[in-house]
Each structure stands twice: as structure tokens, then as C-alpha cells.
Homo-oligomer: A and B are copies of this chain.
Amino acid sequence: MTIITSKANSVVKNAKKLHQKKYRKSAYLIEGWHLFEEAVQAGVTIEKIFALESYRDQLVAFPQTIWVSEEILLDLADTQTPQGIVAVIQKEEIGLPDFRQGKFLFLEDVQDPGNVGTMIRTADAAGFTGVIVSDKSADIYSLKTLRSMQGSHFHLPIYRLPLATFVEEAKKSNLPILATTLSRESKDYRELFSLENFVLVMGNEGQGISSVMAESADQLVHIGMKGRAESLNVAVAAGILMFYFS
């Protein structure tokens, strides 16, 4: 059994490139056993596995495993505790969402990978049909987003679309767009009834939703606050709304 110990090894170097978004065209990295098991269960293509030799028994069914030293594993991971495994996962081809029915979440230019990941995880927990992220939102395949998602991208489809395409598709299917704003000119969510089919829009952390989105929305909605906080964290707000509407 060969154990790779050199960072100069080309297989290691190519895998490490996946830390950068520009190289994640067709594949991405995951780290840790939890995500690895989710990937196996989801039946996605696992191109390569980098693991410590001590996990040989657990990986007997995976000929694509490459044994590496602890140092190489730390180099491939981006946490201090990669838990013995890093894998290269093939991205799945995904078309346009079917907006004729279901509960969807649209993230408009959400910047923080942790927020994007947490909202996708919450959409999964709330039983949503799918999530669409605008093309200016944080990449869902960064290690940080993947950590926050905790495998939810294996449970529900995630689409990446420009704002215009999203709006066009939603309108074509008559899917009601509920867009979240901070403005009290809109309806408090508690005044709205639960809907069968809709898309909930969460905006950018600093700017909120765009004016294009505000004009395209069928209903603007806000979370009325009793205290003196000026706003809620976007992922918390999304959680409150998704669980209320579902």
C-alpha cells in the first residue's frame, strides 16, 4: 500500500485546487465522515477519497481511495480536525426548477457561506422542495458552506440562477413570490396564511432584497419585532418564516 506523504504529488495538488471556486466547475471537496456517509447514501459519484490508512477497514468497498499522511489530509481540509477523510465529489447536472408546485427558498445575493449553508439546512428541515441561490450568492460548494449545510444539499435540489431567470421562471409557473423586507410597509408574516406553493425570498445581509425583486414580488413580508433590535440575522429570520409557512 502506497501512502502519499508529499504535497507536491499531482493528485493531491489537483484536489487542493478545489479549495478555489474557479476550479470547482465539475467537482468539489467534502471533509469528515458525516458528509462522506451522506454522499454514499445519496448515491453521488465519489471521484476520489483521501484517507488515513487507519480507516482501511471502513473503506474496503471504495477502490478510489488514496492513502495519505496526516499532514496531507490537514492540507486538503480546511479545519484542524478533518476526521480522517476528505473526498472529491462530482457535481450533479441540474436543470431548471419545476415551479409548478412546491415550497421554495430563493437566496438573493447572500454573501456569508455560513448563512447560505444554514438556510439550506433549515429549508431541508422544514420540508421545502428546493432552494435557488442567485448567481451572486456565496458558492454552495465551498468547504465552509458545506459544513453549515451538513449534507442537506444531498437531500434537496439546489439551483444557481441569475435573478432575471428566477423571476421569469416563477412568473411562468404562477408561483407566488413572498419577498422578505425590513420595511414595516409590508405585511407582518403573522397576518399571512400558510400557502401550498410559494417561493420565499431572503435578501443580502446588508442591503436586503433588490428593487427588482421588490417589484417582482407578489407579497412583501416582514417580521414584526417587539424589542429594540433593528434586525434579525438573515438565517434566523429565514428559519422563523420557513417554519411558519410550512
From A128, A230, A235, A237, name the one whose CB has the most chain B CB atoms within 10 angstroms.
A230
| Stretch of A65-73, A91-99, A147-155, A159-167 at the chain-chain interface | A147-155
Pair A150/B118 contact, Cβ less than 8 Å: no
**Interface membership of chain A positions 109-132, coded 1 if the CB is closer than 8 angstroms to chain B and 0 otherwise:** 000001000100111111110000
| Distance in angstroms between the alpha carbons of A221 and B244 in the assembled complex | 17
Copies in the complex: 2
- B residues near A156, Cβ cutoff 8 Å: 227
Interface size counted on chain A using CB atoms at 8 A: 35
A11 within 8 A of B: no
Interface residue from B150, B227, B233, B240 paired with A155 (Cβ < 8 Å): B227
| Distance in angstroms between the alpha carbons of A226 and B102 in the assembled complex | 14
**Interface membership of chain A positions 213-246, coded 1 if the CB is closer than 8 angstroms to chain B and 0 otherwise:** 0000000000101111111110111111001101
- B residues near A151, Cβ cutoff 8 Å: 229
| Distance in angstroms between the alpha carbons of A231 and B243 in the assembled complex | 14
- In the complex, which residues 138-188 of chain A have their Cβ closer than 8 Å to any Cβ of chain B? 148, 150-152, 155-156
| Distance in angstroms between the alpha carbons of A103 and B152 in the assembled complex | 33
Pair B243/A125 contact, Cβ less than 8 Å: no
| Distance in angstroms between the alpha carbons of A229 and B131 in the assembled complex | 14
Known: A118-B236, A150-B231. 9 other contacts (CB 8 A): A121-B233, A126-B226, A148-B233, A152-B227, A152-B228, A235-B235, A236-B236, A236-B239, A239-B240
A-B contact pairs, 17 of them (CB 8 A): A118-B233, A118-B236, A121-B229, A122-B229, A122-B232, A126-B226, A128-B227, A148-B233, A150-B231, A152-B228, A155-B229, A226-B246, A236-B236, A236-B238, A239-B239, A240-B240, A243-B244
